[in-house]
Structure 1
Amino acid sequence: MTRTQKTVFILVALIALILGLTVNKVLSGKNQGDPTALIDAGIILLPQSRSLPDVTMTNQDGQPVTINELKGKWSLLFFGYTFCPDICPTTLAQLRQIKSELPPEAVDKLQIVLVSVDPNRDTPKQLKQYLGYFDPQFVGLTPKSTDELQKVANAVSIPFIPADTSKPNYTVDHSGNLAVIGPDGTQRGFIRAPLNNAKLVAQLPVMVKNN
Protein backbone atom coordinates (compact mmCIF):
# COMPACT_ATOMS: atom_id res chain seq x y z
CA MET A 1 0.00 0.00 0.00
CA THR A 2 1.44 3.38 -1.01
CA ARG A 3 1.69 6.33 1.32
CA THR A 4 -1.16 8.03 -0.53
CA GLN A 5 -3.34 4.93 -0.22
CA LYS A 6 -2.55 4.73 3.52
CA THR A 7 -3.48 8.38 3.95
CA VAL A 8 -6.77 7.89 2.11
CA PHE A 9 -7.51 4.75 4.17
CA ILE A 10 -6.91 6.58 7.46
CA LEU A 11 -9.08 9.51 6.38
CA VAL A 12 -11.92 7.17 5.35
CA ALA A 13 -11.65 5.34 8.68
CA LEU A 14 -11.75 8.61 10.61
CA ILE A 15 -14.76 9.84 8.65
CA ALA A 16 -16.55 6.53 9.27
CA LEU A 17 -15.78 6.77 13.00
CA ILE A 18 -17.05 10.36 13.21
CA LEU A 19 -20.21 9.48 11.30
CA GLY A 20 -20.76 6.47 13.55
CA LEU A 21 -20.41 8.56 16.72
CA THR A 22 -22.72 11.22 15.29
CA VAL A 23 -25.41 8.69 14.39
CA ASN A 24 -25.09 7.06 17.81
CA LYS A 25 -25.45 10.43 19.51
CA VAL A 26 -28.55 11.26 17.49
CA LEU A 27 -30.11 7.88 18.20
CA SER A 28 -29.25 8.17 21.89
CA GLY A 29 -30.83 11.61 21.96
CA LYS A 30 -33.99 10.18 20.48
CA ASN A 31 -34.08 7.44 23.11
CA GLN A 32 -33.78 10.01 25.89
CA GLY A 33 -36.61 12.14 24.56
CA ASP A 34 -36.56 15.80 23.62
CA PRO A 35 -35.09 17.87 26.48
CA THR A 36 -36.87 20.95 25.12
CA ALA A 37 -40.23 19.19 25.34
CA LEU A 38 -39.54 18.17 28.94
CA ILE A 39 -38.64 21.73 29.89
CA ASP A 40 -41.69 23.06 28.06
CA ALA A 41 -43.80 20.71 30.21
CA GLY A 42 -42.19 22.18 33.34
CA ILE A 43 -39.95 19.17 33.99
CA ILE A 44 -36.45 20.34 34.96
CA LEU A 45 -33.96 17.48 35.35
CA LEU A 46 -30.82 18.08 37.39
CA PRO A 47 -27.39 17.51 35.81
CA GLN A 48 -26.51 15.48 38.91
CA SER A 49 -28.86 13.68 41.28
CA ARG A 50 -29.09 14.74 44.93
CA SER A 51 -29.11 12.48 47.96
CA LEU A 52 -31.99 12.85 50.43
CA PRO A 53 -31.53 13.19 54.20
CA ASP A 54 -32.11 10.28 56.55
CA VAL A 55 -35.39 11.58 57.96
CA THR A 56 -38.24 9.30 59.02
CA MET A 57 -41.83 10.47 58.60
CA THR A 58 -45.17 8.80 59.29
CA ASN A 59 -47.51 7.89 56.44
CA GLN A 60 -51.30 8.05 56.39
CA ASP A 61 -51.48 4.48 57.73
CA GLY A 62 -49.33 5.29 60.73
CA GLN A 63 -46.29 3.48 59.32
CA PRO A 64 -42.75 4.94 59.40
CA VAL A 65 -41.28 5.93 56.03
CA THR A 66 -37.65 6.97 55.68
CA ILE A 67 -37.49 9.73 53.10
CA ASN A 68 -34.19 8.58 51.59
CA GLU A 69 -35.66 5.12 51.00
CA LEU A 70 -38.34 6.17 48.51
CA LYS A 71 -37.16 3.64 45.95
CA GLY A 72 -38.59 1.41 43.26
CA LYS A 73 -40.82 4.08 41.72
CA TRP A 74 -40.62 7.67 40.55
CA SER A 75 -42.04 9.84 43.33
CA LEU A 76 -43.51 13.29 42.82
CA LEU A 77 -43.23 15.10 46.16
CA PHE A 78 -45.68 17.92 46.75
CA PHE A 79 -45.20 19.95 49.92
CA GLY A 80 -48.61 21.04 51.19
CA TYR A 81 -51.16 20.51 53.95
CA THR A 82 -54.73 19.41 54.44
CA PHE A 83 -56.05 22.76 55.70
CA CYS A 84 -54.68 24.60 52.65
CA PRO A 85 -57.43 26.78 51.16
CA ASP A 86 -56.38 26.86 47.50
CA ILE A 87 -53.11 25.62 45.98
CA CYS A 88 -53.15 22.16 47.59
CA PRO A 89 -56.63 21.00 46.55
CA THR A 90 -56.06 22.45 43.09
CA THR A 91 -52.70 20.72 42.65
CA LEU A 92 -53.91 17.36 44.01
CA ALA A 93 -56.95 17.50 41.72
CA GLN A 94 -54.63 18.17 38.77
CA LEU A 95 -52.36 15.28 39.74
CA ARG A 96 -55.38 12.99 39.98
CA GLN A 97 -56.47 14.06 36.50
CA ILE A 98 -52.97 13.69 35.05
CA LYS A 99 -52.65 10.21 36.56
CA SER A 100 -56.00 9.17 35.08
CA GLU A 101 -54.78 10.07 31.58
CA LEU A 102 -51.36 8.41 31.74
CA PRO A 103 -50.77 5.01 30.12
CA PRO A 104 -50.86 2.11 32.63
CA GLU A 105 -47.14 1.41 32.28
CA ALA A 106 -46.35 5.00 33.37
CA VAL A 107 -48.84 4.89 36.26
CA ASP A 108 -47.16 1.73 37.56
CA LYS A 109 -43.84 3.59 37.79
CA LEU A 110 -45.18 6.70 39.56
CA GLN A 111 -46.40 7.63 43.00
CA ILE A 112 -47.74 10.95 44.27
CA VAL A 113 -46.53 11.92 47.75
CA LEU A 114 -47.92 14.78 49.82
CA VAL A 115 -45.35 15.90 52.40
CA SER A 116 -47.15 17.89 55.07
CA VAL A 117 -45.81 21.32 55.97
CA ASP A 118 -48.27 21.38 58.88
CA PRO A 119 -47.25 18.56 61.25
CA ASN A 120 -49.14 20.32 64.04
CA ARG A 121 -52.52 19.42 62.47
CA ASP A 122 -51.82 16.81 59.81
CA THR A 123 -52.11 13.56 61.72
CA PRO A 124 -52.00 10.27 59.78
CA LYS A 125 -55.78 10.01 60.15
CA GLN A 126 -56.29 13.52 58.82
CA LEU A 127 -53.97 12.85 55.86
CA LYS A 128 -55.73 9.60 54.97
CA GLN A 129 -59.17 11.19 55.02
CA TYR A 130 -58.01 14.18 52.99
CA LEU A 131 -56.14 12.21 50.32
CA GLY A 132 -59.10 9.87 50.00
CA TYR A 133 -61.05 12.75 48.45
CA PHE A 134 -58.54 12.78 45.59
CA ASP A 135 -56.97 9.34 45.18
CA PRO A 136 -56.62 6.69 47.93
CA GLN A 137 -53.33 5.63 46.32
CA PHE A 138 -51.74 9.02 46.98
CA VAL A 139 -49.22 8.79 49.82
CA GLY A 140 -49.27 11.25 52.72
CA LEU A 141 -46.25 11.86 54.96
CA THR A 142 -46.14 13.94 58.10
CA PRO A 143 -42.84 14.76 59.87
CA LYS A 144 -42.19 14.49 63.59
CA SER A 145 -41.20 18.14 63.76
CA THR A 146 -40.81 21.28 61.70
CA ASP A 147 -37.04 20.95 62.04
CA GLU A 148 -37.03 17.55 60.32
CA LEU A 149 -39.38 18.87 57.66
CA GLN A 150 -36.96 21.76 57.07
CA LYS A 151 -34.11 19.29 56.47
CA VAL A 152 -36.06 17.57 53.71
CA ALA A 153 -37.34 20.82 52.19
CA ASN A 154 -33.83 22.27 52.11
CA ALA A 155 -32.41 19.11 50.55
CA VAL A 156 -34.85 19.22 47.63
CA SER A 157 -34.99 23.05 47.39
CA ILE A 158 -38.74 23.31 47.97
CA PRO A 159 -39.27 26.33 50.24
CA PHE A 160 -41.94 26.86 52.87
CA ILE A 161 -42.38 29.28 55.78
CA PRO A 162 -43.21 27.69 59.14
CA ALA A 163 -46.51 29.05 60.43
CA ASP A 164 -47.34 30.69 63.73
CA THR A 165 -49.35 27.82 65.13
CA SER A 166 -50.61 29.91 68.05
CA LYS A 167 -52.96 31.77 65.71
CA PRO A 168 -56.36 30.23 64.99
CA ASN A 169 -56.96 29.03 61.43
CA TYR A 170 -53.34 29.74 60.48
CA THR A 171 -52.09 29.11 56.95
CA VAL A 172 -48.67 27.93 55.77
CA ASP A 173 -46.86 29.59 52.88
CA HIS A 174 -45.27 27.00 50.61
CA SER A 175 -44.13 26.38 47.04
CA GLY A 176 -46.32 24.71 44.44
CA ASN A 177 -43.34 23.04 42.73
CA LEU A 178 -42.91 19.27 42.88
CA ALA A 179 -39.67 17.48 43.69
CA VAL A 180 -38.95 14.55 41.36
CA ILE A 181 -37.40 11.55 43.14
CA GLY A 182 -36.03 8.74 40.99
CA PRO A 183 -36.46 5.01 41.61
CA ASP A 184 -32.95 5.00 43.12
CA GLY A 185 -34.14 7.27 45.94
CA THR A 186 -32.30 10.41 44.82
CA GLN A 187 -33.74 13.70 43.64
CA ARG A 188 -33.65 13.92 39.85
CA GLY A 189 -35.31 17.29 39.33
CA PHE A 190 -38.40 19.46 39.68
CA ILE A 191 -41.75 20.06 38.08
CA ARG A 192 -42.56 23.75 38.00
CA ALA A 193 -45.90 25.18 39.07
CA PRO A 194 -48.44 25.85 37.74
CA LEU A 195 -48.87 22.37 36.31
CA ASN A 196 -49.77 21.98 32.66
CA ASN A 197 -51.90 18.84 32.53
CA ALA A 198 -51.72 18.14 28.80
CA LYS A 199 -47.96 18.61 28.53
CA LEU A 200 -47.27 16.54 31.63
CA VAL A 201 -49.47 13.71 30.35
CA ALA A 202 -47.31 13.71 27.21
CA GLN A 203 -43.91 13.99 28.90
CA LEU A 204 -44.11 12.10 32.20
CA PRO A 205 -44.07 8.73 30.38
CA VAL A 206 -40.91 9.89 28.58
CA MET A 207 -39.28 10.86 31.87
CA VAL A 208 -40.01 7.62 33.70
CA LYS A 209 -39.00 5.49 30.72
CA ASN A 210 -35.75 7.07 29.63
CA ASN A 211 -34.06 8.69 32.61
Structure 2
Amino acid sequence: MFNRTTAWILVVALAAAIGLWAGHRWYSRPAPSALPQTQAVRLFPEPRVLPAFSLQQSDGTRLVPGELQGHWTIVFIGFTHCPDVCPTTLAELGVAQKQWEGMPDSVRPRVLFVSVDPERDSAIRTGEYAHAFHRDTLAATGDLPSLEAFARSMSLVFMKVPPEAGQPADRYSVDHNATLAVLDPKGRMAGIISPPLVPQAIAADFKLLTPTVAR
Protein backbone atom coordinates (compact mmCIF):
# COMPACT_ATOMS: atom_id res chain seq x y z
CA MET A 1 0.00 0.00 0.00
CA PHE A 2 2.85 2.31 0.90
CA ASN A 3 4.53 1.70 -2.42
CA ARG A 4 1.31 2.24 -4.40
CA THR A 5 0.55 5.43 -2.48
CA THR A 6 4.07 6.69 -2.97
CA ALA A 7 3.92 5.90 -6.68
CA TRP A 8 0.59 7.72 -7.00
CA ILE A 9 1.98 10.79 -5.24
CA LEU A 10 4.97 10.77 -7.56
CA VAL A 11 2.73 10.51 -10.63
CA VAL A 12 0.57 13.42 -9.43
CA ALA A 13 3.64 15.50 -8.60
CA LEU A 14 5.17 14.76 -11.99
CA ALA A 15 1.93 15.69 -13.77
CA ALA A 16 1.74 18.93 -11.80
CA ALA A 17 5.35 19.74 -12.63
CA ILE A 18 4.74 19.09 -16.33
CA GLY A 19 1.63 21.28 -16.18
CA LEU A 20 3.54 24.12 -14.53
CA TRP A 21 6.35 23.81 -17.07
CA ALA A 22 3.92 23.81 -20.00
CA GLY A 23 2.03 26.76 -18.55
CA HIS A 24 5.22 28.71 -18.05
CA ARG A 25 6.29 27.97 -21.61
CA TRP A 26 2.92 29.10 -22.99
CA TYR A 27 2.46 32.27 -20.97
CA SER A 28 6.07 33.38 -21.25
CA ARG A 29 5.90 33.42 -25.04
CA PRO A 30 6.13 36.95 -26.48
CA ALA A 31 2.71 38.28 -27.33
CA PRO A 32 2.08 38.56 -31.06
CA SER A 33 2.99 42.05 -32.25
CA ALA A 34 0.02 44.37 -32.67
CA LEU A 35 2.09 46.74 -34.80
CA PRO A 36 1.08 47.06 -38.45
CA GLN A 37 3.44 45.38 -40.90
CA THR A 38 5.09 48.39 -42.52
CA GLN A 39 7.72 48.43 -45.25
CA ALA A 40 9.62 51.69 -44.82
CA VAL A 41 8.54 52.84 -41.35
CA ARG A 42 10.15 51.16 -38.37
CA LEU A 43 7.63 51.54 -35.56
CA PHE A 44 8.69 51.53 -31.91
CA PRO A 45 7.04 49.07 -29.50
CA GLU A 46 5.90 52.07 -27.45
CA PRO A 47 5.58 55.67 -28.75
CA ARG A 48 7.56 58.32 -26.86
CA VAL A 49 6.01 61.56 -25.61
CA LEU A 50 7.97 64.61 -26.77
CA PRO A 51 8.79 67.49 -24.44
CA ALA A 52 7.22 70.88 -25.11
CA PHE A 53 8.62 72.88 -28.04
CA SER A 54 7.86 76.09 -29.90
CA LEU A 55 9.14 76.90 -33.39
CA GLN A 56 8.18 79.51 -35.98
CA GLN A 57 6.19 78.25 -38.96
CA SER A 58 6.45 79.76 -42.42
CA ASP A 59 2.83 80.99 -42.21
CA GLY A 60 3.67 83.11 -39.17
CA THR A 61 2.10 80.83 -36.55
CA ARG A 62 3.88 78.98 -33.78
CA LEU A 63 4.58 75.29 -34.15
CA VAL A 64 3.72 73.73 -30.80
CA PRO A 65 2.90 70.10 -29.86
CA GLY A 66 -0.84 70.53 -30.41
CA GLU A 67 -0.21 71.46 -34.06
CA LEU A 68 1.17 67.99 -34.72
CA GLN A 69 -1.81 66.05 -33.41
CA GLY A 70 -4.53 64.42 -35.47
CA HIS A 71 -2.23 63.28 -38.28
CA TRP A 72 0.73 61.01 -38.84
CA THR A 73 3.69 63.31 -39.44
CA ILE A 74 7.13 62.77 -40.97
CA VAL A 75 9.76 65.13 -39.54
CA PHE A 76 12.91 65.94 -41.51
CA ILE A 77 15.62 68.35 -40.34
CA GLY A 78 17.89 70.07 -42.86
CA PHE A 79 18.70 73.47 -44.36
CA THR A 80 17.98 75.29 -47.60
CA HIS A 81 21.64 75.50 -48.70
CA CYS A 82 21.95 71.72 -48.48
CA PRO A 83 23.51 70.49 -51.74
CA ASP A 84 22.22 66.93 -51.88
CA VAL A 85 20.47 65.15 -49.00
CA CYS A 86 17.76 67.76 -48.41
CA PRO A 87 16.54 68.28 -51.98
CA THR A 88 16.69 64.56 -52.67
CA THR A 89 14.78 63.68 -49.50
CA LEU A 90 12.11 66.34 -50.01
CA ALA A 91 11.68 65.31 -53.64
CA GLU A 92 11.18 61.67 -52.62
CA LEU A 93 8.75 62.66 -49.89
CA GLY A 94 6.93 64.80 -52.44
CA VAL A 95 6.31 61.69 -54.53
CA ALA A 96 4.72 60.02 -51.50
CA GLN A 97 2.69 63.15 -50.71
CA LYS A 98 1.19 63.13 -54.20
CA GLN A 99 -0.20 59.66 -53.46
CA TRP A 100 -1.95 61.03 -50.35
CA GLU A 101 -3.65 63.94 -52.12
CA GLY A 102 -6.92 62.03 -52.45
CA MET A 103 -7.13 61.47 -48.69
CA PRO A 104 -9.29 63.78 -46.54
CA ASP A 105 -7.46 66.82 -45.18
CA SER A 106 -8.49 65.86 -41.66
CA VAL A 107 -6.40 62.67 -41.68
CA ARG A 108 -3.90 63.15 -44.51
CA PRO A 109 -0.32 62.35 -43.43
CA ARG A 110 1.96 65.37 -43.27
CA VAL A 111 5.60 66.20 -43.83
CA LEU A 112 7.35 68.74 -41.62
CA PHE A 113 10.65 70.25 -42.77
CA VAL A 114 12.59 72.03 -40.02
CA SER A 115 15.58 74.15 -40.99
CA VAL A 116 18.42 73.85 -38.49
CA ASP A 117 20.28 76.78 -40.05
CA PRO A 118 18.69 79.80 -38.34
CA GLU A 119 21.50 82.14 -39.41
CA ARG A 120 20.57 81.90 -43.09
CA ASP A 121 17.07 80.41 -43.13
CA SER A 122 14.14 82.49 -41.96
CA ALA A 123 10.80 80.77 -41.50
CA ILE A 124 9.57 82.32 -44.77
CA ARG A 125 12.62 81.17 -46.72
CA THR A 126 12.27 77.69 -45.22
CA GLY A 127 8.66 77.57 -46.37
CA GLU A 128 9.46 78.74 -49.90
CA TYR A 129 12.11 76.06 -50.17
CA ALA A 130 9.92 73.24 -48.81
CA HIS A 131 6.87 74.21 -50.87
CA ALA A 132 8.89 73.92 -54.07
CA PHE A 133 8.79 70.15 -53.51
CA HIS A 134 5.17 69.91 -52.35
CA ARG A 135 2.71 72.62 -51.43
CA ASP A 136 1.40 70.75 -48.37
CA THR A 137 4.76 70.46 -46.61
CA LEU A 138 4.88 72.21 -43.25
CA ALA A 139 7.99 74.31 -42.68
CA ALA A 140 9.49 75.80 -39.54
CA THR A 141 12.66 76.97 -37.87
CA GLY A 142 13.64 78.71 -34.64
CA ASP A 143 16.54 79.92 -32.55
CA LEU A 144 19.46 77.56 -32.07
CA PRO A 145 18.62 76.37 -28.52
CA SER A 146 15.02 75.61 -29.54
CA LEU A 147 16.18 73.70 -32.62
CA GLU A 148 18.73 71.72 -30.64
CA ALA A 149 16.13 70.73 -28.05
CA PHE A 150 13.59 69.82 -30.74
CA ALA A 151 16.07 67.65 -32.63
CA ARG A 152 17.43 66.04 -29.48
CA SER A 153 13.92 65.04 -28.35
CA MET A 154 13.69 62.87 -31.48
CA SER A 155 17.28 61.59 -31.23
CA LEU A 156 18.27 63.69 -34.25
CA VAL A 157 21.49 65.68 -34.40
CA PHE A 158 23.00 68.49 -36.45
CA MET A 159 26.24 70.44 -36.36
CA LYS A 160 27.54 73.54 -38.10
CA VAL A 161 30.62 72.85 -40.23
CA PRO A 162 32.96 75.84 -40.78
CA PRO A 163 33.76 76.84 -44.38
CA GLU A 164 36.98 75.73 -45.99
CA ALA A 165 39.99 78.00 -45.66
CA GLY A 166 39.67 81.10 -47.82
CA GLN A 167 35.89 80.80 -48.19
CA PRO A 168 33.48 83.51 -46.93
CA ALA A 169 32.16 82.99 -43.41
CA ASP A 170 28.62 82.38 -44.67
CA ARG A 171 29.73 79.46 -46.87
CA TYR A 172 29.55 77.02 -43.98
CA SER A 173 27.59 73.78 -44.14
CA VAL A 174 25.44 71.87 -41.64
CA ASP A 175 25.80 68.17 -41.00
CA HIS A 176 22.52 66.54 -40.00
CA ASN A 177 20.63 63.26 -39.86
CA ALA A 178 19.17 61.81 -43.03
CA THR A 179 16.89 59.67 -40.86
CA LEU A 180 13.27 60.82 -40.61
CA ALA A 181 11.27 60.87 -37.38
CA VAL A 182 7.68 59.61 -37.45
CA LEU A 183 5.08 61.11 -35.12
CA ASP A 184 1.73 59.46 -34.47
CA PRO A 185 -1.63 61.29 -34.33
CA LYS A 186 -1.05 62.05 -30.65
CA GLY A 187 2.17 63.88 -31.51
CA ARG A 188 4.37 61.17 -29.99
CA MET A 189 7.50 59.85 -31.63
CA ALA A 190 6.35 56.49 -32.93
CA GLY A 191 9.16 55.40 -35.23
CA ILE A 192 11.73 56.30 -37.86
CA ILE A 193 12.34 55.98 -41.59
CA SER A 194 15.93 55.28 -42.57
CA PRO A 195 17.46 55.93 -45.99
CA PRO A 196 17.48 54.93 -48.75
CA LEU A 197 13.91 56.17 -49.11
CA VAL A 198 11.38 54.35 -51.27
CA PRO A 199 8.48 56.78 -51.90
CA GLN A 200 6.01 54.07 -52.89
CA ALA A 201 6.68 52.13 -49.69
CA ILE A 202 6.39 55.28 -47.57
CA ALA A 203 3.10 56.20 -49.23
CA ALA A 204 1.72 52.69 -48.70
CA ASP A 205 2.81 52.60 -45.05
CA PHE A 206 1.02 55.81 -44.14
CA LYS A 207 -2.12 54.77 -45.98
CA LEU A 208 -2.01 51.66 -43.80
CA LEU A 209 -1.30 53.60 -40.61
CA THR A 210 -3.80 56.41 -41.09
CA PRO A 211 -6.91 54.47 -39.97
CA THR A 212 -4.93 53.13 -36.99
CA VAL A 213 -5.80 54.78 -33.69
CA ALA A 214 -2.65 55.66 -31.78
CA ARG A 215 -2.39 53.68 -28.58
What TM-score results when the alignment is normalised by the length of structure 2? 0.74
| Distance in structure 1 (CA, Å) of the matches to 2:36 and 2:183 | 19
Other structure's SS at 1:193 match = coil
Other structure's SS at 1:147 match = helix
Q: Deviations over 1:150-181 (max 9, x none)?
A: 11111111122234488331110011111111
Equivalent position of 1:55 in the other structure: 53
Equivalent position of 1:121 in the other structure: 120
| Distance in structure 2 (CA, Å) of the matches to 1:53 and 1:164 | 30
Equivalent position of 2:86 in the other structure: 88
1:199 aligns with 2:201: yes
| Distance in structure 2 (CA, Å) of the matches to 1:100 and 1:54 | 31
1:137 aligns with 2:136: yes
Percent identity over paired residues: 30
| Distance in structure 2 (CA, Å) of the matches to 1:151 and 1:181 | 16
Residue 132 of structure 1: CA displacement? 2.5
RMSD: 2.4
Residue type at the aligned position of 1:189: G
Equivalent position of 1:64 in the other structure: 62
| Distance in structure 1 (CA, Å) of the matches to 2:74 and 2:104 | 13
| Distance in structure 2 (CA, Å) of the matches to 1:73 and 1:105 | 12
Say if 2:40 and 2:205, in contact at 8 Å, map to a contact too.
Answer: no
Which consecutive residues of structure 2, in runs of 5 or more, have no partner in the other structure? 1-30
Residues 157-176 of structure 1 aligned to structure 2 (within 5 Å)? 157-164=155-162, 167-176=169-178
Say if 1:54 and 1:68, in contact at 8 Å, map to a contact too.
Answer: no
Residue type at the aligned position of 1:181: L
Which consecutive residues of structure 1, in runs of 5 or more, have no partner in the other structure? 1-24
| Distance in structure 2 (CA, Å) of the matches to 1:138 and 1:75 | 10
Residues 1:171 and 1:58: Cα distance change in structure 2 (over 3 Å): same
| Distance in structure 2 (CA, Å) of the matches to 1:203 and 1:75 | 12
Structure having the higher helix fraction is 1
Say if 2:100 and 2:108, in contact at 8 Å, map to a contact too.
Answer: no
What TM-score results when the alignment is normalised by the length of structure 1? 0.75
Other structure's SS at 1:209 match = coil
Q: Count how many residue pairs are aligned between Structure 1 and Structure 2.
A: 178
